[in-house]
Structure formats: structure tokens, C-alpha cells
Amino acid sequence: MILPVTRDAETAEFFDGTANGEFLLRRSRVTGEMLAPQVYTDSAGSTDLEWVAAAGTGRVVSWAVTYAKPVDGAQRAQSIVAIVELDEGPWWWTELVGADPAELREGLPVQVEFVRPDGSPETLPVFRACR
């Protein structure tokens, strides 16, 4: 289950991107490294970063499945939280939607989707397994 989030000055540009269907990463103007959105310095300690659109694709590195309370003795997956290695290199913690927990595996290819949870003013990135 995705919870609503609220932007601040640090996240405004990222959420502007998600509202436009873009998953933004930071790129160092000094080293050229691609960095996760929440990173503010490159490996050289420089803060000279720019926002760039990512491909929105990657692979599952790890995951955890949460389960709802059993109903009629049957366990049902409630949500899947995954670590995705983006094609550009950074890792992203995300909800994996539309996946069967029994079919998850390391290296499973995924693609970003954008959702707006009920009550949220922001559009959020989630990932879905590629078929």
C-alpha cells in the first residue's frame, strides 16, 4: 500500500518530473556519475548536480512481501517492497505492483509506472515486472 507524500523544497523537482511521467535521477556535472534522487553529493564530494530523465527500467535486486491477516485460513500478499537496480546504476526502494510473489526472482526486469494514491497531492513512481 502506497502512502501519500508531500513535497518540500528538496523534492519539488523530482515530483514535478513524476507528475510529467518522468523518473528523474541526478547526474554529477563533475564526474558524470548517475545518482539516486535523494543523493546530494557525488563521489568527489561535489554538489554540482543536474536532474536528468532516467529510462525507468531496471532489475529486481531484493524484495520483501507483506501479508494481510489470513481470511478463511488463506494468506494473501498485501504488498511487495523491492530494491531495484536502475539501468543507470543507482538503486531505488519501491513498491512492486502487479507481481505474483511466487514468480519473483533476482534480476527480474521491471519498468516504472506512475500512480497517485488516494489523498496524495503527488504522483509517485512504482515498478511493475516486464512481461
Sequential DSSP letters for 11-69: THHHHHHHHTT--EEEEETTT--EE-TT--S-TTS---EEEEE---EEEEEEEEEEEPP
Q: Which DSSP letter does residue 89 get?
A: S
Q: Calculate mean pLDDT across residues 79-105.
A: 95
Confidence band (pLDDT; 50, 70, 90) for 97?
very high
**Of 51, 112, 113, 104, the residue nearest 86 (C-alpha):** 112
More confident residue, 68 or 38: 38
Specify the pLDDT at position 36: 96
The pLDDT score that the predictor gives to residue 2 is: 62
**Which cell goes with 38?**
535523494
Cell of 22: 518522468
Distance, CA of 22 to CA of 119 (rounded, Å): 21
Q: pTM score, two decimals? A: 0.87
Check: CB of residue 115 under 8 Å from CB of residue 124: yes
> What does the alpha-carbon distance between residue 111 and residue 113 come to, in Å, rounded to a whole number?
7
Which pLDDT score, from 0 to 100, does residue 40 have? 94
**pLDDT, the chain, mean:** 92
Domain ranges within the chain, ordered by starting residue: 12-129
**Residue pLDDT, tens place only, 45-90:** 999 999 999 999 999 999 999 887 777 777 676 899 999 999 999 9
Cell of 84: 531495484
Residue 50 is predicted with a pLDDT of 97
